[in-house]
Amino acid sequence: MSRNKQTVERYLDGFRRHDHGQILSCLTDDIEWTVYGAFHLTGKQAYDAAIEGPGFIGPPTLNVVRLVEQDDVVMAELTGSVTRDTGEVMRMSMAEVFVMRDGLIAQRRAWVIELKEDDYR
């Protein structure tokens, strides 16, 4: 496995456990995180504050369907779930683009689709 894919796997493992130190160790200082339709932020301090998003409790379950790498970009297809602060479980499908710099994540771009009926709706 390439260094970039190893970093992404380590990052995802940290996110599954809300391990802020592990997550932040995978990021450049000028990290940019965009979740389309939701937010955009820049820098490790802002990233750290957003790890445990408002309206959710506990870490998410994240399953890697596939990781694809070209040059300094790793793309991930993920499925998962997370518990809302109401106790409801949100199931989701995600596509993520990780732009890497020197083995660290410099940009994370995410598309998150909530699944309300089955594996595709």
Q: Please write the tens of the pLDDT for every residue from 8-52.
A: 999 999 999 999 999 999 999 999 999 999 999 999 999 999 998
Query: Sheet harboring 89-101: ordered strands across?
Result: 39-42, 27-35, 104-115, 89-101, 73-84, 56-70
In a domain, 34, yes or no: yes
In a domain, 84, yes or no: yes
In a domain, 31, yes or no: yes
Q: What is the CATH number of the domain that holds 60?
A: 3.10.450.50
Interval 48-78: pLDDT, tens? 999 988 899 999 999 999 999 999 999 999 9
In a domain, 120, yes or no: no
When pLDDT is cut at 50, 70 and 90, the band that residue 119 belongs to is confident
Cβ-contact 49, 32 below 8 angstroms = no
In a domain, 98, yes or no: yes
In a domain, 56, yes or no: yes
| Full residue range of the structural domain in which residue 11 is found | 3-115
In the chain, how many domains are there? 1
